[in-house]
Amino acid sequence: MAEADILKVSILGKESIHCGFHLVPYIAHTVIATLHASTYVLITDSNIAKIHLPAFEAEFQSALQVAQPNGIAPKSRFLSLVIPPGETSKSREGKAKIEDFLLLHRCTRDTVVLALGGGVIGDLVGFVAATFMRGVRFVQIPTTLLAMVDSSVGGKTAIDTPHGKNLIGAFWQPEYIFIDAALLETLPSREFSNGMAEVVKTAAIWDEEQFAALESRHTEIFAAIQSPSQNFSGRTKKTRSAAQELLLFVIVGSISVKAHIVTIDERETGLRNLVNFGHTIGHAIEAILTPTILHGECVSVGMILEGEISRQLGILSQVGVGRLTRCLKAYNLPVSLSDPRIANIPAAKWLTVNRLLDIMRVDKKNSGDEKKIVILSKIGATYEPKATIVRDVIIAKTLSEAAKVIPGVPTKNPVKMATPGSKSISNRALVLAALAQGTCRLKNLLHSDDTQVMMAALIELKGASFIWEDGGETLVVQGGGGSLSVPHKGKEIYLGNAGTAARFLTTVCTLVQGPGETTVITGNARMKQRPIGPLVDALRANGSTIDYLESAGCLPLSIAPQGLKGGTIQLAASVSSQYVSSVLLCAPYAAEPITLELTGGQVISQPYIDMTIAMMRTFGVVVSRRVDQATGKLLDIYDIPRGVYTNPADYNIESDASSATYPLAIAAITGTTCTIQNIGSSSLQGDARFAIEVLQGMGCTVVQTPTETTVTGPPVGQLKAIEEIDMEVMTDAFLTATVLAAVANGKTRIIGIANQRVKECNRIRAMIDELAKFGVDTNELEDGLEIIGKPIGELKKGVSVHCYDDHRVAMSFSVLSTVISDTVIEEKRCVEKTWPNWWDDLENKIGLKVQGIELDSPVAEASGTVNADADASIILIGMRGSGKTFTGHLAASRLSWTCLDADAIFEEKHQIGVRQFVHMHGWPAFRDAETVILRELLATKSKNHVISLGGGIVETAEARDLLKEYAHKGPVVLIMRPIDEIVAYLGVEAARPAYGEPIEAVFNRRAPWFKDCASHEFVNHVGVDTSIADKKGTRHEVIRFFKHITGQEPNLAPNLAPGKRSYFLSLTFPDVTPALHHIENLTQGVDAVELRVDLLSDSFGTSIPSVPYVKDQIAALRRSTSLPLIFTIRTVSQGGAFPDSAQEEAFELLKLALALGTEYLDVEISLPEPMIKELVRRKGHSKIIASWHDWSGEMKWDGPVVKEKYAVADRLGDIIKIVGKAESLRDNFTLYDFVSEANSKPNAKPIIAINMSGMGQMSRVLNETFTPVSHPLLPTKAAPGQLSFAEIQKALHLLGQLPPRRFALFGTPIAYSMSPTLHNTGFEILGLPHLYELHETAEVGESIKAVITAPDFGGASVTIPFKLDIIPLLDKLSPAAQAIGAVNTIVPLRTDGTNPILYGENTDWLGIRHCVHSRVHDGSLHAALVIGAGGTARAAIYALHSLKAQTIYIYNRTRSNAQALADEFSRANVQVLDTLDSWPSGIVPPNVIVSTVPSSATTTSSEPGSLHLSSNLFGYKDGPAVVIDMAYKPAETALLALAKGAGDNWESVRGLDVLLEQGYVQFELWTGRKCPRNVVAERVRAKYAETVV
């Protein structure tokens, strides 16, 4: 066996934890040698098996061989079992699976089970071991960091149930825990961070030294797992790298603490509670955010919140909270609920205070109702040796987002306190103390990112060492006297986004002396954009070698270790005074004394330069500033002598003077006394003058010593206004002065603060707006503001102050709230920037009560903003030649609105053509005139108009603004047409002025403007050479689009209603166009078509389809089908192809879909909430399917996750979609129960609930709303387990969910009827179990009654001679059937499932209407002729009237019958003809003819007794015309034969065509499904050809 160096840790009295690297051989040998067994079973998950199982197998097999030499088969067996990864395996079923495996393989009690994996495997396998054969031995081989440091240690084993995690389990100690840290090299980095949360936690409660290592060495720790070790390096100490040593140190350190605690308190009765630090709140967060956010990530936030509770209780200092925060951040862990990784997921909305408290109520640590939290007293120690009881109000205060200060007198009066250290002074002090000789104790250092990275860098440069004392209150700096070294080879100094540190350290690095190559300093992405150029230029000019490694002028920098030369340095100081301070601080260590000359005119922030010089003096170096001898004026030239700083024993960092203004102001406003230590008359900061210059002026008593300031306020209500005060030297303090002025007697003018308009927010505006809420008047001045003070009693109470995320706004209004009751300070956390524990200090150090307040947050709702005004006119924009006129006219006619063309209005108004106008007055004048017209139109024609604008309207900003504004009220539709089609079209058009430049150039210029102005987009393909079918499709699409976006007739699926079933077809093509020929067949039975946008691909190898491609695909689909579209983008982790990281791209495509009038938008609820809200806002009449896909298989239908997801989807969507995964049939039943319960709630939204995988097929059968279906013609299924529509119908039938029905045709003679073929084909294609039969009787009598009352009656067709006689048997007639007075269709309406209502309908008229309308369009039917006066003639008149025929002529052999009909349809202008041989004089012959008489009754010769037909009938020659013969025998009737010679404008329609059309309608009425027309028509025609000759 290969040698391995092992570090052993003892637990429960046994050295059973063995740690090292590359331990597989060691593990195999140790286990076999010390744990004798007949069988060794290794259990792991499939992720780990792929990478690590072969090595274990090989090693165990060979070790077993060795144990049994001489070729004899080993006595013991080695078996392995691989199970699916993820939390779902940690279940009863998962446990049973393993037990069955063990039983099947006849494992006995001497078996040793090895758990190779993360916490899931460890917990599950451990629990199996605990109960199998009443307990077998087991070994933990953890593979995740979390499992190494936490779950594998301590013997807790468990499984989850739907009621919660880890609820069933046992304590069962493993024989060994082998920690092979090399296994971490394959662990994803997010999982590593997840484990680091536990590592940080353990150090935080127990071991400060370990914590300090974690704090300062995070980059090395990450590096240790990121660079794979070669040739098993690390297995022995000799081959172990420094990074590996560090990693092992960290892991072993953490395990040792846990092992120690477990040894003392194995069964968690007290001490072991401590490892739950961060978990009380962390678990509650996890319950809401799982599985999106990992356990360690939730615990990380939990630790900070619990740390803040300790701080609130006055137990933990802000130093502790700050260190914890920065340490967790360094491992990429979230530290607050507002971290975008958390805040952006929709479930985050449920993180309310009440909800979190509610979840905490069931924590296992609780005793009864009281909650227990582990309270830190400092880093490395807890308040009690167990969790501490904490009241709900305290937890709620920390968790809530807003704060309320209870007015009153500070109970700590007279207050004496220090405010947090000044940031500028902290940074300077750190550099000075590090460069100096000797030891310095820095007190009151600010804990910020800047100081943190500064210290880490100085350690890296071996320039100094740091030790914390007093629990982090004092930093002991052992200065290096200016000696600095190049960091380890390849080691970069990482500064994050700490600007001050970057600037100071750049010069510090030039002081470094060799050996070593260069020092590299770098930062995060933002840092790499911040300027450093002027400083680098100056240093380079002085001889330093500094290279930019990426962009010139920015970090990262590579600095050669050659020391700083010195002499004269010129530096441009107009950008930042920090460059100056950087050179000044390092200057004494140059080879020659430095003369620093500042160039570039205006020197910025002189007070900070003075601050640096003053501090250098304290550390022993005196800088002199030159003076112009002649004028006595100070020059910007400084002389710095050579020398070494000397550390003062103690250095008290001055408190931040701006922060000090708040407690002082509280003393002023409450009439009490406050002393601020650390700030006095000798202060380096300008804001230190606030007390004397402002508060004293307002009537306070101020006593200032060089190092302290004490303020005593006048009695409450007696502050005086200051007439005018210039606050230029203390601008940050103006907000504090403003709130005091609000309650002072008189007007206060504050000036010199113009720069405050560009701080965190426009602070002057913010103060004006927020004070107005209290009823305080103010006047804004050019460089300040005037406040008109009011007595306290007159200010409004209960105001909620918005803080603009600005710490100073929050703190200054909290001063005001000490005297005005019920003031709520929203966003209380914004104080974190400079005074994170402000609210706690207010309570603990000043003595004012603070409450936590939860604000009602406005939540997005599914309702969105449908254009309030459905009548709002539609504006069309787009290039000339894009089809605005065609589209506009068609849209207007179908909406029954008026169409206007702005160009025509222009010509009418100016009495001149556009072309000529431009010629005479030029383009600018035309654009102006055009904009005037636009303005007029928007004002006067704002309702019920479709207004088409000139193509160039978007050229002027004014017109664009008008359009953008209008788009909030009504649709602005951009008509898009491919540019080549436009070019071809314009080639033949000359009415408007020529562009004078290439059309493509004009288009490219306008395209962004068009996009900017339009709310919708319509893709118009009316190419010169498009086919008739395409043109027809385009007309349909125009109508669909405009009816949908106006809401006149949204194109939604009717079957989405409760009690009905609906389906959609998933189109899985990379390009849908080749499939469009089959679209009729593909969409058989379905209600909508889903376009899987993620599967579209316009060029090979790209995963995101381009916007133009998606548009084209949709346009092509639209021309082929009028079914609603579902627009879906599935990402990789949801089982699709769209990159998970491309959320912006997905968002753009989703917005495009809405602009194109897509009816349904599938939106994953994992998309950031602001994006979803925006889509909801834009959706108009379209619907949002809010969906959640659990591809991992971890979601259980009876677990908590699905409920959360449902609630989120319910809030955001109109339709809810949840997709899980079935592992057993049972998972479909739990799904069904979930859906039934959800649907039982009043107003439940439609839900799509499906289980993926073959096991889940049953859920697809049972799902009612929008079941995704496949079709045999599709290349691939969109998801595993998908079924076709017909398959689902068959399954429903077999499950008793779709009872077979009988249909009949009543009439005589009917033997040759095509109806059975028509309907039975439809049933067959759609998989419906119904049957249609002939029922020929002589009369409407008992036999018909028996059929229509039978329980399985599905419907009937009625034909001659019973269309009228049937009526008395029916319960209700449709309006059409009533008007026509004839019924051809009976529909049994089953509302309550028992007694159907027999409903009479007439579909003949619909068949006739369809056949006319598809050939003679709206508005062009001037006159029609109906031949015959029977039931069918009535249907024809009704149809023609509905098509707005101006005159309907009727001819019948028995005139009186015709007259009776004309009288009955009096509103339809029916005129009776006496003959068909000639038309009455002066009329235009009709363009529609419908014959309803049997063909046998007509003749084209002059047979007596027959109706004579002559070619006169077809006298109309001027446009589209159609003749329909309702007789369907023979195939070519006399009338149609005659029509052949009538001219090209006449189209003929056979009786069979009408029969088909009316049959399709019947089919849909009976089944609720569209009839599969293509196949049905084909079969009927074939049958017809057989029977009718």
Ligand X SMILES: NC(=O)c1ccc[n+]([C@@H]2O[C@H](COP(=O)([O-])OP(=O)(O)OC[C@H]3O[C@@H](n4cnc5c(N)ncnc54)[C@H](O)[C@@H]3O)[C@@H](O)[C@H]2O)c1
Binding residues: 45-47, 87-90, 118-120, 123, 134, 143-144, 150, 156, 165-166, 194, 198-201, 258, 272-276, 279, 295, 364, 878-885
Q: Is 652 in the site for ligand X (CB under 6 A)?
A: no
In terms of Cα–Cα distance, which of 454, 585, 490, 50 is closest to 226? Answer: 490
Report if residue 165 touches ligand X, rule: CB under 6 A.
Answer: yes
3-state secondary structure of 567: strand
Q: Catalytic: which of 404, 759, 1189, 1221?
A: 1189
Of 107-115, 144-152, 1099-1107, 1280-1288, the segment contacting ligand X by CB under 6 A is: 144-152
Q: What is the rounded CA–CA span in Å between residue 690 and residue 808?
A: 15
Measured from the CB atom, the residue of 1133 and 1469 that comes closer to ligand X is: 1133
The 1393-1412 contact track toward ligand X, x by CB under 6 A, reads: --------------------
Residue 263 makes contact with ligand X by CB under 6 A = no
Site for ligand X in 189-228 (CB under 6 A): 191, 194
The DSSP secondary-structure symbol of 557 reads: E
Catalytic residue among 283, 371, 443, 1205: 283
How many CB atoms are located within 10 Å of the residue 1478 CB?
11
- For the CB of residue 147, give the shortest distance to ligand X in the complex, in Å: 4
Q: Does 1015 bind ligand X (CB under 6 A)?
A: no
The C-alpha atoms of residue 205 and residue 274 are separated, in whole angstroms, by 7
Contact 1587, 1552 (CB under 8 A): no
Q: Judging by DSSP bridges, how do beta strands 1183-1189 and 945-948 pair with one another?
A: unpaired
CA distances from 398 to 302, 353, 1085, 1407 (A): 11, 9, 56, 70
* Using rule CB under 6 A, residue 144 touches ligand X: yes
114 binds ligand X, rule: CB under 6 A: no
Is the CB of 193 or the CB of 1282 nearer to ligand X?
193
Minimum CB separation of residue 82 from ligand X in Å reads: 11
Pairing relation of β-strands 439-443 and 474-479?
A: antiparallel
Q: Which token pair is 1418?
A: 């709206």
Closest distance to ligand X from the beta carbon of 281 (Å): 16
What are the respective helix, strand and coil percentages of the chain, to the nearest 5? 45, 20, 35
DSSP H helical ranges for 461-563: 499-510, 533-541
Which segments are annotated as binding site for ATP? 878-885
Query: What is the closest distance, in whole angstroms, from the C-beta atom of residue 183 to ligand X in the complex?
Result: 4
Any idea of the CA torsion for 1072, 1073, 1074, 1078, to the nearest 10 degrees?
Answer: 80
Name the β-bridge partners of 415: 674
CB burial string 314-351: b at 16+ within 10 A, e below: ebbbbbbbbbbbbbbbbbbbbbebebeebbbbbbbbbb
CB of 298 to ligand X, least distance (A): 12
On the CB side of 910, CA atoms within 13 Å amount to 21
Binding range to ligand X, per CB under 6 A, among 2-10, 143-151, 1035-1043, 1454-1462: 143-151
**1322 makes contact with ligand X (CB under 6 A):** no
How many CB atoms are closer than 10 A to CB 633? Answer: 8
Complex with ligand X: residue 87 or 1525, whichever CB lies closer: 87
By CB under 6 A, residue 732 contacts ligand X: no
- Provide the minimum distance between the beta carbon of 134 and ligand X in the complex, in angstroms, as a whole number: 21
Tell me whether residue 708 is one of the annotated catalytic residues. Answer: no
Residue 115 interacting with ligand X (CB under 6 A):
no
State the binding site for Zn(2+): 198, 279, 295
Three-state secondary-structure class, residue 687: helix
Query: Which residues sit in the known binding site for NAD(+)?
Result: 45-47, 87-90, 118-120, 123, 143-144, 165, 194
Instruction: Say if CB 1060 and CB 1568 are below 8 A apart.
Output: yes
Is residue 24 part of the contact set for ligand X (CB under 6 A)?
A: no
Active-site residue 1189, yes or no? Answer: yes
Q: Which of residues 41-70 bind ligand X (CB under 6 A)?
A: 45, 47-48, 51
**Per rule CB under 6 A, is residue 278 in the interface with ligand X?**
no
- Minimum gap (Å) between residue 310 Cβ and ligand X: 23
| CB closer to ligand X out of 45 and 1017 | 45
Catalytic, out of 327, 830, 899, 1411: 830
Could you give the CA distance from residue 1570 to residue 1086 in angstroms, rounded to a whole number?
Answer: 8
Is residue 187 a contact point for ligand X (CB under 6 A)?
Answer: yes
| Residue 123 found at the interface with ligand X (CB under 6 A) | yes
Count residues near ligand X (CB under 6 A): 29
Please state, in angstroms and as integers, the Cα–Cα distance from residue 530 to each residue in 448, 506, 525, 527, following that order. 19, 13, 9, 5
Nearer to ligand X by C-beta: 257 or 902?
A: 257
1217, 1221, 1271, 1570: the catalytic one is 1217
Cα-based torsion angle of the residue sequence 1495, 1500, 1501, 1507 in order, rounded to the nearest 10 degrees: 60
Taking Cα atoms as reference points, which of 714, 670, 711, 671 lies closest to residue 688?
711
Count CB neighbours of 66 within 10 A.
13
Contacts (CB under 6 A) with ligand X, residues 1098-1157: none
Residues 145-164 touching ligand X, rule: CB under 6 A, are: 146-147, 150-151, 154, 156
Residues 73-102 interacting with ligand X (rule: CB under 6 A): 85-87, 90
**Does residue 1486 touch ligand X according to CB under 6 A?**
no
For residues 378 and 383, give the distance between their C-alpha atoms in angstroms, rounded to a whole number. Answer: 8
Task: Return the residue nearest ligand X (CB atom).
Answer: 119
CA distance 1157 to 1297: 35
Q: Which of 186, 439, 1133, 1545 binds ligand X (CB under 6 A)?
A: 186
Place of tokens 């109806």: 1315
List alpha helices for 344-482, DSSP H. Answer: 353-360, 392-399, 423-435, 449-460
- Closest CB to ligand X among residues 86, 563: 86
Q: Which is nearer to ligand X, 228 or 715 (CB)?
A: 228
Asked if 166 is part of the footprint of ligand X (rule: CB under 6 A), the reply reads: yes
Q: Does 143 bind ligand X (CB under 6 A)?
A: yes
Window 1025 to 1054, contacts with ligand X (CB under 6 A): none
Give least dist CB 146 to ligand X, A: 4
By C-beta, is 89 or 1020 nearer to ligand X? 89
**Is 1173 tagged catalytic?**
no
Closest CA relative to residue 765, chosen from 779, 744, 747, 746: 779
Query: Is residue 1079 close enough to count as binding ligand X by CB under 6 A?
Result: no
Q: Do 282 and 302 contact (CB within 8 A), yes or no? A: yes
The one among 19, 31, 63, 183 contacting ligand X by CB under 6 A:
183
Comparing CB distances to ligand X, the nearer of 90 and 1118 is 90
| Catalytic residue (choose from 59, 208, 215, 268) | 268
Of 196 and 455, which CB lies nearer to ligand X in the complex structure? 196
Please give the helix or strand (H or E) that residue 1489 lies within, else none.
strand 1488-1491
830 among known catalytic residues:
yes
Q: Does 1340 bind ligand X (CB under 6 A)?
A: no
Q: Which residue has the tokens 């504006």?
A: 875
Within 707-849, strands assigned E span 708-712, 724-726, 747-751, 777-781, 784-788, 800-801, 824-825
What radius of gyration do the chain's Cα atoms show?
Answer: 42
Shortest reach from residue 144's CB to ligand X, in Å = 3
- In the set 20, 94, 119, 971, which binds ligand X (CB under 6 A)? 119
Q: Rule CB under 6 A: is residue 1193 a binding residue for ligand X?
A: no
Catalytic residue list: 268, 283, 830, 1189, 1217
List contacts with ligand X (CB under 6 A): 45, 47-48, 51, 85-87, 90, 117-121, 123, 143-144, 146-147, 150-151, 154, 156, 165-166, 183, 186-187, 191, 194
